[in-house]
Structure 1
């Protein structure tokens, strides 16, 4: 597939083509209108001239010589050809008509007529009437060449004016294209500043057509920054944990006077390594959080059913119930691993602290997806809930009794631009509601 052309160049090219097509249509439509108006004007003044000539003849009843003189005077005055046919069959005409075309005029019916005369076409009006008690006809003809000069001048004037208008139109198209695409130049400048580290986000104040793109790019930048910050914190934590654990164990193993280690030292080292292993697993699970990604979907109902199956084996005495009106194949734009980790931690937390039952409710709302996990345990106090909900909660800052899972859940929700609310369930236990918004 060939690379797309420049938008500016493409817009100007299409603008030029459409302008030429428009110019051509205007030119030919103008020619048609001028011809129609010209024909109508000629019909009117020919009718007027013929009526005047007819009125004079009927009023004066001239002789044949008088008619010839009248024809000559009218032709000199108007520049037209006049043909009179008397009832006796005589045909009178002046010098403006080729007599070889006479038969073509005589044979024409009454009304407006066209007669070919050399390179010109004669346009005229033929009418019959009664003069001095005798039937006769009169025809007034004018050459189309004489009148065609005026439409030609009008065409040339239109052509010149249209050329000027076309140039102005192309200039306007170029200016409009430049102004329309100016925001793209600002976006390019923002990207350059972003690459150079002078700014951390793209300016959201762009035309409406670019807002979804800029919003998604900013979301990706924010997600990337959160991941980078998380990995930096994790690396720092891991370095500290490993160094502390190794230092403690080395201190015991390096003391030659106490070798071999006592039972208490062995128990301490084993406990130290178990805590290190637990902390490493926790921090590695946080490192695996993907966050919102375009093009990734999962099936919340199906994943929840799978997680419940696992939890029923871990907590055989607990009843896990799923409530939803959504079909099993309902999909949602979220990384599958994130949702599975989120549900696993919530259900594990509910299984640990419930008395008998954990209810999971999944619903589609106008703003996104709602997931509620409620149990019938002792519940969560507002003070504990506020502490757990703090962003950046570390391992040693997690509220006792709620394990490490809710901190992971909080980070997953944050990375997916959602909300996490804690409260009391209808059974008096804890209720944790996750709201995941629709992507823009």
Structure 2
């Protein structure tokens, strides 16, 4: 099941809450506008109702001399009107007013039974054309009963400005919603930027560009970065420990096994015995390769400075072969890095340069040339070199081309195995000076 991203989740929550807030604002502001518009209309109607209340005599009659139509009521056909009813009679002016019938009952017929005075109350009615009328109703006590005063105005006087105001309000809220959406998007982009930066930092650690994650993170991400750095350190320690044991196992098994193979060959042992030793050697080499390739981050976070390692190896081999005065030259560009663990790079270059120093006449050269995705490292000597058939045999484990020197014939084979582990290769051909050229292909870092 696909889970929503953090960006999508936050955007969805912001959208839902924004829509809810805008809907609440629309209802609230619409209610405020309606009360505001209705208040002005009610004040005009209440003024007319108050004037009519003062015009009613104690016996329930309407004194015409005290009646004056306020603005709105004095315009014929405007829809404004009033009505006074009491036990003494009924009077009205302007638009006829018909009370809305009670819910579930017949229309009113004749003067209703009036309740006691309770202040001016709102109401709804209908005009002669069936249009809605907003009413204000007052019941006043008189001698022997009560009188009802009703003043009305067209409901359209309220609905038209409300409709116009709500249209403007809808446009304003839509623009506000668009602004909030844009602000939310910008906020999410800026707010989630540290997470994207942390992702890039993890990628650089994995590629070997950085050793650990930077801790200059937002406060919420600092614990995560610290935990990841602790995991990286733990994995590095585990890798170093595993490689140490692999190296010990390699030295502890391969050297005695190589010695056994040579003794069996010198003592003229049977072919079956020698084949059994060879099979055992192959199985050990196979499982050692698997152990090394299964180590975390092999070839992924590995990053070694080629020039620095080459210079260290050259300096060490100059001292080892000082009595022969071998000149070891290093020609490697600054900044050349390979995706190889330093220990493995030292082992590969050490075997190749030591082999070259033992067979060189005067000079050994370490040179590196950049290819598209790899570095071509060449170790050249000016010694006697090897014929093509001997070059192929020299890469086989336990095969010694020169029986006069020390060793068991595993140096070049180990270099070839390590190079293949990192996706590279080792080839042997003739050097420009006539000696042997060991060409090592190693992937670029990053």
Shorter-chain TM range is 0.3 to 0.5
Q: TM-score, normalised by structure 2?
A: 0.46
Whichever structure has more helix as a proportion of its residues is 1
